[in-house]
Every structure is written in C-alpha cells, then in structure tokens.
Amino acid sequence: MGGDIGLPATVPAAVAFARKFPDVELLLVGLPDQIEKALAAAKNVPHERISIVPASEVVAMDDPVEVALRRKKDSSMRVAIQTVKDARAHACISAGNTGALMAISRYLLKTLDGIDRPAIAASIPNQNGRATTVLDLGANVDCTADHLLQFAIMGAALSQALDHHERPSIGLLNIGEEVIKGNEVVKEAAELLRASPLNFFGNVEGNDIFKGTVDVVVCDGFVGNVVLKSVEGLAKMLSNIIREEFKRNIVSLLAAVIAKPVLDRLRDRVDNRRYNGAALLGLRGVVFKSHGSADAYAFGVALERAREAVVSGLLERTATAVAQITSSVQQRAATESSTTPAADASS
C-alpha cells in the first residue's frame, strides 16, 4: 500500500514477479477492496499463487514512527512484517515509510544475537558495471566502532548472498586513505576491522564507491544517507541534462539519433531502478525497503533482490558470520589480556 505510486506500481510488479518465478507465492497485504481492484486491472494474474492478506489501516509516508508503531496496530506494514515473524512469509518488501518500517521490524522481529542495531544497506552502481554495497544509509546516526564492525559483518554477508562475492572486500569510508585520518570512532573501527577475519581493504574515500574499489563500504547512517541522497540527485541531474540538451536544436536531435545506443547504455548504467531494494540487516527476518518513488519496474527489482536473499540464505549467512567474528574478537581480546603483564601491586 505504500510508496508515492502505491498499488498502480506494487500490484503490477507483484504479478510480473509471480509470472517470472513459478516457485514463488505472494501475500499482498493491505486494504482488500483496493487490492482486488488493482488485480482485476492486471493481465495474466496467477491467482493460485497470489493471496490477499487483509489489513484495515495504512501507514502514511509522513506518519511519525510513534503513530505507526503504537497506534496503527492493524496497518498493512505491521501485518506484513508479522507474516515474517509467524513464518508465514520468508520476506517482507515495502515501499512505505522507512522509519516506520525499521521501527516495526525491529519491534516485531528483534535483532540477531551479537547485533545491537539493524542497518540499511543498498547497492550503488560503479564504473565496473557492477554495484558497491553501502551501509548504513540512515538507520543509525550516532555509531560506535563496534557498530561499524557489525555493519561490516552484515554487509559482507549481504554481498556474498546477493552479489556472490566469495570473500567481499570491505572499505571504511573516511576523509582519506591514510591510517591517521578520521575521527576517533573511525580509527577505532579500523583497528577492529584489521583484527577481524574480514577481508578489510582499509580506508576508502567517497569516490571509491563509484570506482568499485571495494565490494562493501561501511559508514555511519548520517554520512551514508548524505551519500545516498547525493547519488540520487546526481542520477536525476544527468538524466535531465541529457534529455534537455537534445531538445535544443535539430543538430542535437540528429546527434541524439546517432548516439542513441550509447545514450541508452549510459541511461541504463545510471538508472537507480536497476538497484532498487535496500536490505534491513541484522533482524531475525528478511525485510527489504523499496524506494518510495519506485515504479513497477523498480519495485519488481526489489522483489527479486528479496527472493535472492532468501534463496541464498542471507539470514543464516549473517547469523553465522556474526557468531564467528564475535568469537574471534573475544578470543583475541582474551589472548591479549593473558599476555599483558600484571600491574605491580606496590606501584
């Protein structure tokens, strides 16, 4: 029910997704009358694999988190997440209010052992024709070094599951590559990452996201959200420049015809819709957040990413990685403690 477009985007995307993947069953959660109307307008609907789960309320895009969490207890968002908690669904996908989705997901599903805070992770296209996973993108503004280590663990698991990187490289977003750069939290996080079994590349800068220098870039939610909004703004600006420039005169129009194949490839590479679907990592369930402005194509991409996360065992990978690295860090701390000379009692 959520998103800027709502059912005209989500229902056609769901129908197309169900046709593409015969192994999938879909639960469409929301106001039944409206969903039935949208399904009636769709073509070739595999009704045997699509069910409607009723909900009497909808979380608005501008609803405060408290309203969504405490007052709208029969909202489509809450009912959808409840289906994951009840093991009725393997994953939940929503284009609705991000803050509400995170709060309700954390309240109902809880976090995995060893994870203090869930994080939002998404893919940003890079010049290698692939994508760089970046997290956190806004769920956690104030972070400790331990939180950044947890983000790295979860980001590595996501990269393994969705991008099929056997041992993803991890970069820590900083104002420079040098070890001495950054604030105390970032410096401490770098030490923790270097001591962990993760494939830690080192500090990276903002342009490394687009170069594809590493598979995963870790930062706090304040910085990550600024990065995300900047990328979205840049993509829209490039698209507008290309479109407006070739409207100016006949010569440009002729050039556009000649250059169309190149422009089409450029448009596809900077098209954020191809990378829609941010994972809410660290929860005891798979939850994906679609961009609020997603059209049917983009929402379909989010559905496919969520399916891939389930098929690839994202939840299990994350839990295993967290347990292994937490154990490794604890063992290292214990070893260092046992080898440190005891303080002189007389001093």
Q: How confident is residue 328, by pLDDT bands cut at 50, 70 and 90?
A: confident
The pTM is what? 0.86
Q: Where are the alpha helices (DSSP H) in the chain?
A: 7-20, 32-41, 65-66, 76-85, 98-109, 145-162, 184-195, 206-211, 221-245, 250-269, 296-311, 314-339
Q: What is the pLDDT of residue 265?
A: 59
Least confident of 112-126, 177-191, 235-249, 320-334: 235-249
Q: How far is CA 215 from CA 21, 119, 138, 221, 270, in A?
A: 28, 17, 19, 18, 18
Tell me the mean pLDDT in the region 314-340.
Answer: 79
Q: How confident is residue 111, by pLDDT bands cut at 50, 70 and 90?
A: very high
Q: What is the pLDDT of residue 130?
A: 87
Q: What is the pLDDT of residue 345?
A: 47
Chain position carrying tokens 């005169």: 249
- If one compares 12 and 329, the residue with the highest pLDDT of the two is 12
Q: What is the pLDDT of residue 323?
A: 85
CA distance 144 to 214: 22
Q: What is the pLDDT of residue 242?
A: 65
pLDDT tens digits, residue range 116-160? 999 999 998 888 888 899 999 999 999 999 999 999 999 999 998
CA atoms within 13 A on the CB side of 35: 24
pLDDT of residue 343 exceeding 70, the answer is no
pLDDT tens digits, residue range 15-26? 999 999 999 999
- Type of residue found at 217: V
Least confident of 30-44, 154-168, 171-185, 257-271: 257-271
Tell me the mean pLDDT in the region 91-112.
Answer: 96
CA distance 140 to 102: 11
Q: What is the pLDDT of residue 321?
A: 86
CA distance 18 to 100: 27
Average pLDDT, the chain: 89
- Type of residue found at 71: R
The DSSP-derived string for 251-306 is HHHHHHHHHHHHHHHHHHHT-GGGG--EEEETBSSEEEE--TT--HHHHHHHHHHH
- If one compares 322 and 169, the residue with the highest pLDDT of the two is 169
**Phi and psi dihedrals of 202, rounded to 5?**
130, -165
| Angle formed at CA 304 by CA 301 and CA 306, multiple of 5 degrees | 110
CA distance 233 to 220: 20
Q: At what angle do helices 145-162 and 296-311 cross, to 10 degrees?
A: 100
Q: How far apart are the first and last CA of the chain?
A: 68
pLDDT of residue 313 exceeding 70, the answer is yes
Backbone φ/ψ region at 44: left (φ over 0), alpha (ψ -120 to 50), beta: left
| Angle formed at CA 63 by CA 58 and CA 64, multiple of 5 degrees | 135
- Type of residue found at 159: S
Chain position carrying tokens 């990452």: 193
pLDDT of residue 63 exceeding 50, the answer is yes
pLDDT tens digits, residue range 252-289? 656 666 665 655 555 555 566 788 999 999 999 999 99
Tell me the mean pLDDT in the region 8-16.
Answer: 96
Q: What is the pLDDT of residue 347?
A: 43
Backbone φ/ψ region at 182: left (φ over 0), alpha (ψ -120 to 50), beta: left
Q: What is the pLDDT of residue 70?
A: 94
